[in-house]
Chain A
Amino acid sequence: MAYDAGAVIPAVFTILRCGLLPFGKESVLFFSRRATTVVFLSALAGACGTTAQPPVSPFVLDDFGDTIHTARPARRIVSLSPVTTELFFALGAGSRLVGRTHYDSYPAAALAVPDLGDGMLPNVEAILGVHPDLVVIYASQSNRAAAVQLRRAGVNTLAIRDDHISDFRRTVALLARATGDTLAGVAIADSVERSLAAVSARPRPARPVTVFWHVWDSPILTIGRGSYLDELVTIAGAKNIFGDLADPSPQVTLEEIVHRNPDFILVGTVTGQALRKNVLWRSIPAVREGRLLVVDTVLVGRPGVRLGEAARSLRALILKDTVR
């Protein structure tokens, strides 16, 4: 039982957070098309020289369907997911964070924010202990009770479900509304979508390069069609061998991996070494022949500010193609 805890936990955390809504490949394509439109429109907006903050209503609805008050910018924020923590720093609101999860390690300044433990089934008492005026939580069913408790305690609680790349713009917009800087939000979303579109526009190899994403060992978990990482693999120009499974983090067998025979296995640092030595995993040609690619899970595993960078790094890793 040898695992790469440091690299695997954040990845699994992200995967486990992925929702159950099936998300077809078409949507990713749609997204690319939409992304270009958005880039185009925002370029226009930039040309017009709009600088004033657009008028906003004092409420938004979050992904639990609850009303969030955004009349006053939040000043003491608890962010319970690595993605939103990164985003708050990108929005220039890092100094307003008073709590994060155990897994929020980027940017380095985030480590100075108090660690409140898990983001899934969080410790409500610990959160209330830092007196936040806004808590951002992942909108999964298991977090529902915590959100209700926090609201009952009078804390503005924003639940966000960011399972897909297409959710990114909305996530940024919601957080930007909460911090009171909607323009910064638009700028971030534009820049991320621009980078993604640049990677997406690169030529695809005639014969698809297939990958198996090693998420977990016992049982073996990988990424399926419904996951953000599957979308990222597609944008990077490769093909996930389990892209046909609707489950975002399906359990699979070694036999099936041998059968689907991927060109590359994507793994975390320590996991890679363990797999190479494992008799059972060596039944996969890619493992036997050393076609293992080590993924920077902290960068790639999170659908956040560095999405563009993540897509670029995956493309460079799998197709050896550097996108400027």
Chain B
Amino acid sequence: MRPRTWIALLVALLVAALAGLALGPVSLAPGTVWSALFGNGDANAIAIVQTLRLPRIALGIVIGAGLGVSGAALQATLRNPLAEPYLLGVSGGAAVGAVTAVALHFTSLAVLPIAAFAGAALAVTLVLLVARAAGARGDPRVLLMAGVVVGAFANAAVMVLLAGAPGDTVRGALWWMMGSLSDATWQGTRWIAVYVVIGGTLLLALGREIELLALGEDPAAALGVDVERATRRVYLAASLLAAVTVAGAGLVGFVGLVVPAIVRALGARSVRSVMLGAAIAGGALVVAADVVARTVRAPAELPLGAVTALIGVPFFLSRLRRMT
């Protein structure tokens, strides 16, 4: 990707972040927002900007980056442009893990990602087993079908877990499963960021292996890659990223699908640059989607997952048509 494109991506992220800061259910003048950012002016404006809007933007960037990198790595490794944590059932598995943890009263964002990761790892294993049993690992559609089926299973598991829970938990959990940044705090965002950086670094470090896996398993093996081990590592790291985003903001689908495709269309070729570009573009997309979620029906808020799905599903369909 040319330097100009990198700059354009960063500018997009900056614009989204500025929009996130300036726009919301309460309209504040740009001057008010600016001074509130530095702790000056009306106490309520300061609270709105510093406590409510800033952490949301930060969490949106982190979540978007995680989803983007995870999607990029999965697409390359599976040689499937439709691979994405949500469609592969990985996010669903993470939700089962997280809901189980909450049911056992582990709600800290330091612990929740680990439980979500356990669920996500289980889901990804299941998906690959189902796809293998179907005997057509090469067919990207079989893998997606397996993912959707595992995702439906995860959904059912969550419902069963919630059936025994008190009504308030159910409603809270359902809202959370639709995806939302409304609970963003600095403390929570810090934990999510730590995990996203770990997962992202792992995948970037695996960049060369992913590059070779993208050529196909046999060529990769011929070029000296331990295919089994490398694939497992990519799945685990990508699942970790997806799981962390689920723990932090619930199920936000399709970001991992849309963003790597955009970055590739902008000219990114190497897997590492697709992943990095997807991190930036993912942050921009989630922050922008959150601005939409917060403002279109104000003072009510739309679930973030609904907004990203409204963007992602038409995109998915156009891709699918091109494939078949």
Q: Using a CB–CB distance below 8 Å, which chain A residues touch chain B?
A: 1-3, 5, 8-9, 12, 216-220, 242, 245, 250-256, 258-259, 261, 279-280, 282-285
Contact = CB atoms under 8 A, between A and B. Distances in A.
Interface in B267-324: 294, 298-301
Interface string B78-116: 000000000000000000000000100001000000000
Contacts of B167: 5, 9, 12
B176 interface: yes
B44 A259 contact: yes
B30 interface: no
Interface string B4-28: 0000000000000000000011100
B48 A259 contact: yes
A12 B166 CA distance: 13
Contacts of A255: 24-26, 48, 52-53, 294
Interface string B172-198: 110110001011111100000000000
Given A218-B175, A250-B299, A256-B26, 16 more contacts: A1-B102, A3-B169, A5-B168, A8-B168, A9-B167, A216-B171, A219-B301, A220-B182, A245-B299, A251-B299, A252-B299, A255-B48, A258-B26, A261-B44, A283-B51, A285-B47
B43 interface: yes
Given A254-B52, A258-B26, A283 B47 contact: yes
Contact of A251 (B102, B186, B300): B300
A279 B189 CA distance: 13
A156 to B, nearest CB: 29
B269 to A, nearest CB: 42
Nearest to B294: A253
Nearest to A242: B299
A279 B185 contact: yes
Interface of B: 24-26, 43-44, 47-48, 51-53, 102, 107, 166-169, 171-173, 175-176, 180, 182-187, 294, 298-301
The 3 closest A-B pairs by CB, nearest first: A283-B47, A283-B51, A251-B300
Given A250-B300, A283-B51, A1 B169 contact: yes
Contacts of A251: 299-301
B172 A283 contact: no
B107 A1 contact: yes
A272 to B, nearest CB: 15
Q: Which of B169, B172, B173, B294 has the most CB of A within 10 A?
A: B172
Nearest to A247: B300
A253 B172 contact: no
A252 B47 CA distance: 17
A285 B298 CA distance: 21
A280 B24 contact: no
Contacts of B176: 218
Contacts of B168: 3, 5, 8-9, 12, 216-217
B23 to A, nearest CB: 11
B52 A280 contact: yes
A284 B47 contact: yes
Nearest to A252: B299
Contacts of A245: 299
Contact of B48 (A12, A279, A282, A283): A283
Nearest to B102: A1
A168 to B, nearest CB: 26
A250 B182 CA distance: 16
Contacts of A280: 51-52, 183-185
Given A9-B168, A285-B44, A253 B299 contact: yes
B266 to A, nearest CB: 34
B298 A253 contact: yes
A63 B127 CA distance: 51
A251 B299 CA distance: 7
B172 A217 contact: yes
Contacts of B298: 253, 256
Contacts of B169: 1, 3
B267 to A, nearest CB: 39
29 contacts: A1-B107, A2-B107, A5-B166, A12-B167, A216-B168, A216-B171, A218-B171, A218-B172, A219-B175, A219-B301, A220-B182, A250-B299, A252-B299, A253-B298, A255-B24, A255-B48, A255-B294, A256-B26, A258-B26, A258-B47, A259-B26, A259-B44, A259-B48, A279-B187, A280-B52, A280-B184, A283-B48, A283-B52, A284-B47
Contacts of A258: 26, 44, 47-48, 52
A282 B48 CA distance: 11
Contacts of A284: 47
A57 B87 CA distance: 62
Contacts of B102: 1
Given A3-B169, A279-B51, A285-B43, A256 B182 contact: no
Nearest to A216: B171
Contacts of B183: 218, 280
A258 B187 CA distance: 21
B172 A1 contact: yes
A243 B183 CA distance: 25
A2 B166 CA distance: 12
A1 B182 CA distance: 13
Q: Which of A216, A220, A259 has the most CB of B within 10 A?
A: A259
Contacts of A242: 299
B25 A256 contact: yes
A12 B167 CA distance: 10
